[in-house]
Structure 1
Amino acid sequence: MLKDICLSGFYSTSPWARVGHRPPSSSSSNHTGSRRVSAMNGTRTPQQPCEEDPREAAKNRRCLRGKSLLLCALMLSTVLGFALLLAYTILHQGLEPCDTKECLMLLARLLEVRNATIDPCEDFYGYACGNWEANHLRTGTMESSNVFDVLLEENQLILKRLLEVPQLRVGSSAKEKAIRFYHSCMDTQQIEAEGAQPLKELINQIDHPEFEMPPESDYNEKGNYPEVVRVYFSYLMKLGTLLGGPQNVTSTFISFALSFISNLQKEVTPLQERRERGMLFYHTTIRELQEKAPAIDWLSCLQAAFHPVQLNISQPIAVHDMDYLKGMSRMIGKWQKGRVLQIYMILCLVGNLSPALDSRFQDARRELYEKLHGKTGESGLVQAHRWRKCLSDTSTFFEPVLGEMIVQEIFPQETKDLAEKMFSVVRDALNSRLHQVEWMDEQTRQEAKDKVSKLQVEIGYPDRTLQTPEIDREFQDLEIHDNTFLLNVVACLKAVRENFSLRLLHPHLQDNWKVYPWSVHSYYSLRRHAVVFPAGMFRSPFFHAEFPSAVNFGAMGVIMAHELLHAFHDYVVPESCPRCNRDALVWGTDCMVEQYERYSLQGLRINGTFTLLENAADTGGLAIAYQAYKNWLKKHKQERNLPGSGLSHHQLFYISFANGMCGHQSRERLQAFLHNDPHSPPPLRVRGPLSNSQDFARHFHCSSTAPMNPAFKCHIW
């Protein structure tokens, strides 16, 4: 064939071809013709040169070049196709399934709460969380009302286990004192045996108690304040009897004390009124306070309260309600001759310390709250397991100690490092997102980027949590006894006050955290321009080093992005950003307000204006976290599957986000939530942001008419 001739000439192995010689010229014409015929019949004759016929040789060279180019193109397309197949396999099929214990437990939890019979494009919350209530709600309590409550309880059970270790020796470390305090609280047999005796020994050591009786203004609208007074009188009588007072004498003094309390409360300026007047704090000096409220020796009082801080009469101070202090001073002047003030303070002290006394005092307090608020009321007291109360008390007084214990148990350095890396990816995604915010002008955009770069992040625990020697020094003067819980409480109260005073003198000692390290709530601190994510959050189902990154970014990454956006709340209010495109910003805010006000749960409507800032952070946080996840995939080019879930990586991202919102609220609880909480209820924290996400609709193949894929989507960030 001609092909064979041409190729044989191009790749010839003839000695002539190698050395550049011409072939012999002694061949006859007949011989030459026979060779040509052989070639045309497809027989390879390496000795036959293509150059013998110039026209055919040119044609053969063109054929050769075409075939060579075709072969190269074929080889290149094969290599390119293989590379694309490999990339698709890595990005979409994963290197290997995640079959670790943590992933298998995560899968079991996901399948347990998911209701696969619900179309995710119709109701994604119902799809992701439809079976959560049946598997988690507990009869008679609200302790497990959502995923965060479940995780908090898991963290508390870990602390319970760590505190209940046997006391092998009496040590002086802060950890050993915390364990002894917890054990003294759990020793109910000893507490019952002591009764009221420890309290009687403390009657002369009265702190500054708060009101126990609710103010008349709380009940005037209901017209039942006289009944409240009778209930409270019965409660105080019971306390007086438990302390051993004669009933007739006790009744007389309690009547006077109630009258004093009622009149004193009338001097209180309601918080809302002070807020409207811009008088949350009144700046003054001790000298001026002494002149306006002379019934109390304020310098001596404040020196005792803030010891060892040195104070003088010219010391600047801030008080919450100057009108109340002036009214209180007038009342003390009227009542100081009798024993009413003493009885009042004793009764308040007993009420405050009753949780540390025997069951008779606690039962009396519980009965009071049940009568005032009802067993299911918002302020009602639920009789919890004893260990919960003791853990709460121990946390109050030994927070840094318990913080160190829980961090060492659940938050290894590997987890902290991974969490910090993920936060950096999320922060970078926010910076990129700022370029897409249409209502920002360039100067505001640069200011926002500077704000992001200066933001502090604290993940896991305060800096000093693992500094055991420093914590031991903080508690070195505290004495904890094995069998006297009330005295231990009083000793701890004194230590707390002294430590508070020391922190006033040495601000660098302050941790400035509003939550415990084992808490499950993050927050943004406006004062410190910092975001805080406690160690207690970095556990299943929100985060784990063994999880696919889709889970970590979908659950914890969205929370991180949400908190980051809280740093820009002041930009969202049009009047606070004069250079911004006001029309574009108002369009975004109005769109989101109207979107959420179209929603309802259990027949209750959402206040879109009240929840606007949180809704904006939810929608923006989801978009930023998803972009961060895509950036992570682009860099690492690998991801693990969650076998048996039936979900792609992108779908796993979104269902992990929704799983963090699973929970249940009764209608009564929901009504209170809508009135007091600036967040939308969890089902709408899923529905709202996902309805605004085109990426979500694409990955779950939602039609243009699906409820979760509305035509108009609202964005502020």
Structure 2
Amino acid sequence: MQHARETQQDVPMLRMSETPIELEPQLSIHPPTQPEVERGLQLPPPNQDPPETQHQTQLQPEVQLSESGPEHQPQAVSLWMKHRRLLLLLWEVSLSAALLGLIYYIHQNQNRSSDQPSTVTPCLSPACQWASAQLSTSADPFKEPCDYFLFTCGSDRITQNSRGRHRGQGLPGHPQNQNGKSAWPERKGERSLREEKVMDRKTMLLQYLREILELNDTAGSSAVQKTKRFFHSCLDTRSIETAGVEPFLTLIQKLGGWAVSGQWNKTDFNSTLSLLMRDYATFPFFNLYVGKDPEEMAHGRNKRYIQIDQPDLLIPTEWNSKTQTSQTKAQTVRPFMETWLRYLALLGAPPNSDMMHVGMFMSLSSELAVRATPLQYRLSKGQLHQRMSIKELQIQAPAIDWLGCLRAAFHPLPLIEDDHVLLHNLPYVVHMSPIIGKWLNNYEPSNSAPLQTYMVLNLLHTLMPAMDSRFAERVKNVSVGNADGTAPRWRRCVLETERGFDSVLTHLLSERTAHREAEEMIENIFSSFKSKLHKLKGANQKSLQSVMTKVQSLIPRLWITSEISGDAELDLLFSTVSVSTHSFFSNYVQLLSLLQKRRRRLLSEPSEPPDVLSVTPLLLGSELLFPMGMFVPPHFHPTYPRAMNYGVLGFLIAKDILHMLLPDIYSQSETVHAVGECVWTHYLTVTEKASRGGAFSLSSAQRQEVWVQYSALQIALQAYHQSLQKRPGDTSISGLSHTHLFLSAFSQGNCDFDPYHEFMPLEPSFLIKVICARSHLCPTSLQCPSQTQQHSLQTC
């Protein structure tokens, strides 16, 4: 057995660049029959010799007869005629065996030459050198087939120097799991640790943008230089700490002061609100953004509207499902009050008045919070996307000068009373208006002006990311929804830069994106996906046909912009922006103005601008858009061997498409159930049937996810073969042959944290073992000595 395994491992694989192997229509990979390996060699028809052989057979009896004496001629003729058929049969068998041996010899020589490092073209680019180093630090799945495919991504990934945990540990029903319990809770608990060590796609993109922003290139356009200065000023924490609170206090004086300091010029409520909305992207009483109407989108209309939502309230609240209202609790309100008292002290508020101002701020916040409701509740009540004119809104909530505020926020766009807006919580807006009216009428401006203080403290919250650590460290304590409070500084700075300079980053990313290679991959993956879809067997053929019709109408393309084509247009767009090298606060104030201009531009532009931070496909009408942020290192590089690009990013793209276009395919296709169970059977066999009795059944969601990921790997592999057919030849890393490199790259880069991660009952790397179970595509059979029964498993 040992000798047989060594011999099998030494059998090289078919060189894909010279003889591409076509996958079967359903993408199940079966070993090709011997005549199919070399389609150029045609065996002669059975029971028929080649012309040369027939001629020699006819001449041979005549020579024998002429050399025999007359008395032996009848006997010789009889003997020859008697054995003629036997001789011909033996000759045919010998000739067929020789031809088959020749084919086998040629096939093995081609395989052997394709796996030798000297016959592949090595990729020596810096990106490939980095990728080679990454591959060298992790185990080759084809050298450790008994262990490799049972290890999790990230923290549990085995390396050449460390074999990680014992085989089977953490598997459902394994003896090393106490009491034979399922490993699902452990898998979920491992996620935070894994995310620390394995970068998700969004983090990879942010890291790539960071590298672009840190490039010391003085030859760039003015807009590019401003963008980089903004990013560097965000990283300059020393200057931010030195500035302290003075920049904010100076800004408050420009706005007319505030009652807390005793210096306030008693500005008009609606005038102050309009100013905050226009120049500082601050919305104390309601939220404002731009979007489409889903009902119109269903009919092919993509007009955008101003959308008004409930605000991001600063006071912490809890939803009471019994009373269906939001409420505050003492244990959360007390820390909230103490935090704001510290803020007022830092801003120089008199000690004898700070409690009064904070108390009124909390009281007003609580009154507004009562009618703030969770999104799911509003969705169930049909409160989203309620259309009405600005004039109608003014009647519903008269305390706000709606036309004046909206004109200020979207200046210079012309707005009239008959223009429509979309409301996402009309009951809140109606409730908000009398509260504002009450606070305006019950308090004299000369005393406390609580509404003005409320707006200033909301502005403070907006500007906290640009202030010193005494404020920034407490941002997460004030806003429960802030997820970036503990993020690395560089990451927060990249995100802030994108908020104001998104068009510049889009331009920089487009310059560095390999458009031709990306578009070729999109085309091949989508073509392979459609081939997979057509071979599905469905219980609901009508639903499947509807899906196929929709897929056939889609146009996949790279998501790029055509509005801004060069440096000159970018410079014009940011001509009024002045970025200081050492004053992040003033830069941040300008960013807020740019952010509101971005909303304004979105309202007036007909097309959807690319989202530079997007890392997953977007379905927009009849177009399936693939953002440029998907095609960045380390998942993709134009100098990588295509085997690496397809093995990593090709798989992720195929998985994204399957999740997006086939969200409920399990209920429509019996193939999903069959393939999911087949892969799971392989898994149970390799893990010794989960200790003989510890196995559990897969849910429908788990079967679907197994099918999705297994199909995504098949789709990516077929797309890679299509690429080789169009452009034969590929480079290599570490001397690995094409399919070997494809599968090795997949095994290193398949730890993608998508929303469906929890439904995957096994590690994606195990799919290699399934796909290689009965396939000559793989360098070895991936069969362990203790698992001799594996050869009998069917191909999924």
Q: What SS does the corresponding residue of 1:398 show, helix, strand or coil? A: helix
Letter of the 1:269 partner, please give it: T
The CA distance in 2 between the partners of 1:165 and 1:596, in whole Å, is 54
The CA distance in 2 between the partners of 1:450 and 1:624, in whole Å, is 20
The CA distance in 1 between the partners of 2:791 and 2:397, in whole Å, is 62
- Conserved 8 A contact 2:227-2:504: yes
Q: 1:234 to 1:527 in 2, by over 3 A?
A: farther
Letter of the 1:306 partner, please give it: F
Q: Report the alpha carbon displacement of residue 252 of structure 1 after superposing the two structures with TM.
A: 0.3
* Cross-structure match for 1:13: none
* Cross-structure match for 2:498: 395
Q: What SS does the corresponding residue of 1:182 show, helix, strand or coil? A: helix
What is the TM-score when the length of structure 1 is the normalising length?
A: 0.72
Q: How many residues align?
A: 626
Q: 1:293 to 1:224 in 2, by over 3 A?
A: closer
* Cross-structure match for 1:206: 276
- Identity over aligned pairs, percent: 25
Q: Report the alpha carbon displacement of residue 343 of structure 1 after superposing the two structures with TM.
A: 1.0
Instruction: Give the greater-gyration-radius structure (CA).
Output: 1
* Cross-structure match for 1:242: 346
* Cross-structure match for 2:169: none
Letter of the 2:247 partner, please give it: P
* Cross-structure match for 2:31: none
Render the CA deviation track for 1:298-345: whole Å, top value 9, x for unaligned.
122222222223222222211110011011112112212331111111
The CA distance in 2 between the partners of 1:609 and 1:192, in whole Å, is 54
- Conserved 8 A contact 2:529-2:715: yes
* Cross-structure match for 1:619: 710
Q: 1:507 to 1:196 in 2, by over 3 A?
A: same
Matched, 1:661 2:750: yes
Q: 1:632 to 1:211 in 2, by over 3 A?
A: closer
Letter of the 1:621 partner, please give it: A
Which of 625, 634, 644 is the equivalent residue of 1:531? 625
Matched, 1:544 2:630: no
* Cross-structure match for 1:341: 451
The CA distance in 1 between the partners of 2:369 and 2:486, in whole Å, is 27
* Cross-structure match for 1:158: 211
The CA distance in 2 between the partners of 1:616 and 1:75, in whole Å, is 44
Alignment root-mean-square deviation, CA: 5.2
Which of 265, 276, 279 is the equivalent residue of 2:380? 276
Pairing of 1:233-632 with structure 2 (within 5 A): 233-337=337-441, 338=443, 339-365=449-475, 368=477, 379=483, 381-382=485-486, 384-385=488-489, 387-408=490-511, 410-411=512-513, 415-439=514-538, 447-459=546-558, 461-464=560-563, 466-508=565-607, 510-513=608-611, 515-516=612-613, 521-525=615-619, 527=621, 529-535=623-629, 537-540=631-634, 542-569=635-662, 572=665, 574=667, 584=670, 587=673, 616-632=707-723
Considering fraction of residues, name the structure with more helix. 1
* Cross-structure match for 2:764: 686
Q: Report the alpha carbon displacement of residue 630 of structure 1 after superposing the two structures with TM.
A: 3.8
- Conserved 8 A contact 2:116-2:735: no
The CA distance in 1 between the partners of 2:386 and 2:457, in whole Å, is 30
- Conserved 8 A contact 1:122-1:707: no
Q: 1:120 to 1:276 in 2, by over 3 A?
A: farther
Matched, 1:216 2:241: no
Q: What SS does the corresponding residue of 1:397 show, helix, strand or coil? A: helix
Which of 151, 156, 162 is the equivalent residue of 1:126? 151
* Cross-structure match for 2:49: none
* Cross-structure match for 1:701: 782
Which of 221, 226, 232 is the equivalent residue of 1:177? 226
Q: Report the alpha carbon displacement of residue 268 of structure 1 after superposing the two structures with TM.
A: 0.8
Q: Report the alpha carbon displacement of residue 505 of structure 1 after superposing the two structures with TM.
A: 2.0
The CA distance in 1 between the partners of 2:210 and 2:201, in whole Å, is 14
Q: Report the alpha carbon displacement of residue 539 of structure 1 after superposing the two structures with TM.
A: 2.4
Letter of the 1:661 partner, please give it: N
Q: What SS does the corresponding residue of 1:507 show, helix, strand or coil? A: coil
Render the CA deviation track for 1:448-490: whole Å, top value 9, x for unaligned.
4443343333437444565333323322333334454323222
Gaps of 5+ in 2: 1-54, 163-189, 256-274, 278-282, 285-310, 444-448, 688-693
Q: 1:511 to 1:595 in 2, by over 3 A?
A: farther
User: Which is worse superposed, 686-695 or 65-74?
Assistant: 65-74
- Conserved 8 A contact 1:697-1:709: no
Letter of the 1:498 partner, please give it: K
User: Which is worse superposed, 297-306 or 606-615?
Assistant: 606-615
Q: What SS does the corresponding residue of 1:280 show, helix, strand or coil? A: coil
Q: 1:79 to 1:692 in 2, by over 3 A?
A: closer
- Conserved 8 A contact 2:526-2:556: no
* Cross-structure match for 2:120: 96
Letter of the 1:175 partner, please give it: V
The CA distance in 2 between the partners of 1:69 and 1:336, in whole Å, is 107
- Conserved 8 A contact 1:121-1:697: no
Letter of the 1:701 partner, please give it: L
Q: Report the alpha carbon displacement of residue 614 of structure 1 after superposing the two structures with TM.
A: 5.4
Q: What SS does the corresponding residue of 1:310 show, helix, strand or coil? A: coil
* Cross-structure match for 2:300: none
Render the CA deviation track for 1:404-444: whole Å, top value 9, x for unaligned.
33443x43xxx332232232222222222223200077766
Q: Report the alpha carbon displacement of residue 255 of structure 1 after superposing the two structures with TM.
A: 0.4
The CA distance in 1 between the partners of 2:789 and 2:469, in whole Å, is 53
The CA distance in 2 between the partners of 1:480 and 1:643, in whole Å, is 47
Letter of the 2:656 partner, please give it: E
User: Which is worse superposed, 624-633 or 227-236?
Assistant: 624-633
User: Which is worse superposed, 67-76 or 149-158?
Assistant: 67-76
- Conserved 8 A contact 1:308-1:502: no
Q: 1:120 to 1:323 in 2, by over 3 A?
A: farther
The CA distance in 1 between the partners of 2:793 and 2:618, in whole Å, is 30
Q: Report the alpha carbon displacement of residue 548 of structure 1 after superposing the two structures with TM.
A: 3.6
Q: Report the alpha carbon displacement of residue 496 of structure 1 after superposing the two structures with TM.
A: 2.5
- Conserved 8 A contact 1:596-1:608: no
Render the CA deviation track for 1:511-562: whole Å, top value 9, x for unaligned.
143x43xx6x22333556413142453423x333443433222211111212
Q: Report the alpha carbon displacement of residue 622 of structure 1 after superposing the two structures with TM.
A: 1.7
User: Which is worse superposed, 306-315 or 690-699?
Assistant: 690-699
* Cross-structure match for 2:299: none
The CA distance in 2 between the partners of 1:610 and 1:274, in whole Å, is 28
* Cross-structure match for 1:110: 135
- Conserved 8 A contact 2:647-2:745: yes
The CA distance in 1 between the partners of 2:503 and 2:788, in whole Å, is 48
Q: Report the alpha carbon displacement of residue 115 of structure 1 after superposing the two structures with TM.
A: 7.5
- Conserved 8 A contact 2:361-2:450: yes
The CA distance in 2 between the partners of 1:691 and 1:198, in whole Å, is 61
- Conserved 8 A contact 1:121-1:708: no
Q: 1:688 to 1:278 in 2, by over 3 A?
A: farther
Letter of the 2:536 partner, please give it: V
Letter of the 1:96 partner, please give it: V
The CA distance in 2 between the partners of 1:709 and 1:58, in whole Å, is 56
The CA distance in 1 between the partners of 2:409 and 2:627, in whole Å, is 33
* Cross-structure match for 2:734: 643
